[in-house]
């Protein structure tokens, strides 16, 4: 008897058995959710990153999917309520703040996952809601600010207490471990940003721009803040690449290239929720960062810059 041939036959049979088992599991996974109804509510399907998130989610699992685009005419809160009631989805995927609030206000009893929301922690939530954060964690942002500009120790934040009090308190706590002082200045809805910003700019080495609907309530507010900061020779650190057009010195945001893969991860999370598996974290941080450094602003404001940090930069403005 040829022992080697016998061993090879057993090994081949074992491999084939394992292959068949894996294929069976794969087929079961692809068909198990075919009748599972998922309603995607998209704040605006015309926005590329929202559409990318929708495509990434839809293409990775075999759910039965309906899409509701809130940018379309005649899509309002009442109609959304009727659609949710009529379709009775097993799960809702909300893309953007508008979609999130539209779903949440319907007093959901089914699970919901979300993405593409800046500062999601300011929104109401419940035990049925899970998602992927868009903003980079605070401790990493503060670390990068200090790593790039080690001489900057006092960082100012303009914020509205209704939307960002919790986030500001957390930033202050984190900053104490990093040789950084966060100086926060509240802004009420009826206050002039010019008056409040001038007061803050006298006390700080840099401004840390947050996603705040009161501070950033208009383009006029944004332009005024950047002009005042430039006159005071104070850099602005931002969270959104679009602010590079206004003159932000440093921007830290989630890597846009990971939106599709994160949506696929979100689809896997949705699957776990529907299978009633134990999920420890209700939200995940973004995968990867995009760091924009404006060297023109660095030179214009005569900032001392750590050149070793160049390796961390994704995009340079010269």
Asked if 210 and 69 sit in the same domain, the reply is no
250-254/289-294 β-pairing: antiparallel
Its sign, for the CA torsion 209, 214, 216, 220, is negative
Evaluate whether residue 179 is within a structural domain.
Answer: yes
pLDDT score of 255: 80
Asked if 62 and 170 sit in the same domain, the reply is no
Q: How confident is the model at residue 32 (pLDDT cuts 50, 70, 90)?
A: low
Asked if 307 and 171 sit in the same domain, the reply is yes
With a cut of 80, say whether residue 208 has pLDDT above it: yes
Asked if 153 and 57 sit in the same domain, the reply is no
pLDDT score of 260: 65
How far is it, in rounded angstroms, from Cα 288 to Cα 290? 7
Residue 156 vs residues 1, 112, 272, 296: alpha-carbon distances, Å: 82, 35, 41, 22
- Stronger pLDDT, 181 or 278, i.e. the higher one: 181
User: Could you tell me the residue range of the domain that residue 172 belongs to?
Assistant: 138-254+289-317
Instruction: Decide: 206 and 251 in contact? Cβ < 8 Å.
Output: no
* CATH number of the domain bearing residue 231: 3.40.50.2300
Beta bridge partners of 185: 158
Asked if 47 and 86 sit in the same domain, the reply is yes
Average pLDDT, the chain: 85
pLDDT score of 301: 95
Q: How confident is the model at residue 18 (pLDDT cuts 50, 70, 90)?
A: low
pLDDT score of 220: 96
Q: How confident is the model at residue 206 (pLDDT cuts 50, 70, 90)?
A: very high
Asked if 126 and 106 sit in the same domain, the reply is yes
Report the pLDDT averaged over residues 27-51: 77
37-42/64-69 β-pairing: parallel
Q: How confident is the model at residue 28 (pLDDT cuts 50, 70, 90)?
A: very low
Evaluate whether residue 313 is within a structural domain.
Answer: yes
Evaluate whether residue 190 is within a structural domain.
Answer: yes
How far is it, in rounded angstroms, from Cα 246 to Cα 225? 10
Asked if 169 and 309 sit in the same domain, the reply is yes
Evaluate whether residue 8 is within a structural domain.
Answer: no
Asked if 128 and 153 sit in the same domain, the reply is no
Asked if 195 and 279 sit in the same domain, the reply is no
Phi, psi of 229 (to 5 degrees): -65, -40
Evaluate whether residue 12 is within a structural domain.
Answer: no
Instruction: Decide: 284 and 115 in contact? Cβ < 8 Å.
Output: no
Most confident of 245-249, 252-256, 279-283: 245-249
How far is it, in rounded angstroms, from Cα 186 to Cα 243? 21
Evaluate whether residue 2 is within a structural domain.
Answer: no
Asked if 126 and 155 sit in the same domain, the reply is no
Q: How confident is the model at residue 19 (pLDDT cuts 50, 70, 90)?
A: low
pLDDT score of 266: 83
- Stronger pLDDT, 117 or 165, i.e. the higher one: 165
Q: Locate tokens 């990093």: which residue?
A: 178
Asked if 73 and 182 sit in the same domain, the reply is no
Report the pLDDT averaged over residues 144-167: 95
How far is it, in rounded angstroms, from Cα 314 to Cα 127? 37
Least confident stretch, 91-105, 110-124, 228-242: 110-124
Asked if 200 and 306 sit in the same domain, the reply is yes
Report the pLDDT averaged over residues 202-212: 96
Report the pLDDT averaged over residues 301-313: 92
pLDDT score of 33: 59
Question: How many residues are present in the chain?
Answer: 318
Evaluate whether residue 40 is within a structural domain.
Answer: yes
As for how many domains the chain has, the answer is 2
Evaluate whether residue 25 is within a structural domain.
Answer: no
- Stronger pLDDT, 196 or 265, i.e. the higher one: 196
The 10s digit of each residue's pLDDT in 50-107 is 888 888 888 877 788 999 999 886 777 778 888 888 888 999 999 999 999 989 988 7
């Amino acid at each position: 008897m040829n022992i080697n041939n016998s061993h090879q036959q057993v090994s081949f049979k074992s491999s084939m058995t394992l292959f068949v088992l894996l294929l069976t599991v794969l087929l079961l996974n692809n068909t198990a959710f075919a009748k599972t109804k998922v309603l995607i509510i998209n704040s605006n399907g015309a926005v590329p990153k929202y559409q990318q998130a929708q495509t990434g989610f839809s293409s990775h699992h075999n759910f039965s999917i309906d899409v509701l685009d809130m940018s379309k005419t005649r899509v309002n809160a009442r109609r959304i309520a009727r659609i949710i009631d009529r379709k009775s989805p097993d799960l809702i995927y909300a893309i953007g703040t508008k979609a999130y609030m539209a779903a949440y206000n319907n007093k959901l009893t089914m699970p919901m996952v979300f993405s593409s929301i800046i500062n999601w922690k300011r929104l109401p939530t419940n035990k049925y809601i899970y998602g992927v954060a868009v903003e980079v964690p605070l401790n990493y942002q503060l670390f990068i600010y200090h790593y790039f500009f080690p001489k900057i120790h006092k960082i100012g934040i303009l914020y509205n207490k209704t939307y960002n009090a919790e986030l500001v308190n957390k930033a202050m706590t984190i900053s104490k471990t990093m040789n950084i002082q966060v100086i926060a200045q509240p802004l009420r809805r009826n206050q002039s940003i010019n008056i409040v910003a001038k007061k803050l700019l006298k006390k700080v080495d840099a401004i840390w721009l947050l996603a705040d609907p009161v501070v950033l309530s208009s383009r006029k507010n944004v332009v005024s803040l950047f002009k005042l900061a430039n006159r005071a020779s104070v850099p602005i650190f931002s969270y959104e690449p679009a602010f590079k057009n206004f003159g932000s010195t440093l921007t830290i945001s989630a890597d846009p290239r990971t939106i599709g893969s994160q949506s696929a991860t979100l689809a896997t999370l949705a699957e776990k929720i529907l299978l009633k598996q134990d999920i420890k974290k209700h939200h995940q941080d973004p995968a990867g960062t995009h760091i924009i450094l404006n060297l023109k602003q660095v030179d214009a404001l005569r900032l001392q810059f750590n050149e070793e940090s160049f390796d961390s930069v994704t995009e340079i403005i010269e």
